[in-house]
Amino acid sequence: MGVTNLAELAKVASSEEASEEFLRTKGVLKTFDACPFCGSFPPGKVRRQRYKCYRCKREWSVRRESLLEDLRIPFSKFVLALKLFVLEVPVNRAHKELGISYNTAHKVYSLLRKAIGLPPVWWR
């Protein structure tokens, strides 16, 4: 599932499930075939964005071991933030367009810069 134009991006960002699946296919979110704690498989999905191992009884988030682990931004807004980052939209405009706080937008941009190997921006 690749996004080649804005119409396809709108379709992906229209729902959290579609955005989650898009991020999973692109390798941003990890797919858990086994429990990361005890190794048993398959883990079950117990509620929204949570997995559970029925052997060791531990739960973890779908964001575990991913770029989004420390972010509490919806997947759809992250997909849109990624597109704004690619289009080189400044953070101070992106946070208004996405309807998120400036600090969250800055953190997303910083994580994306780090992920692709760009030096951090020290000013706001």
> Which residues, other chains included, contact 33 with Cβ-Cβ below 8 Å and sequence gap of 6+?
41, 42
pLDDT per position as a tens digit, 43-89: 888 877 888 999 999 998 888 988 888 888 999 999 999 999 999 99
The span from the CA of 56 to the CA of 2, in Å, is 37
Answer for the pair 51, 44: CB distance below 8 angstroms, yes or no.
yes
pLDDT of residue 1: 45
Residue 113, phi then psi, degrees to nearest 5: -60, -45
The span from the CA of 107 to the CA of 80, in Å, is 15
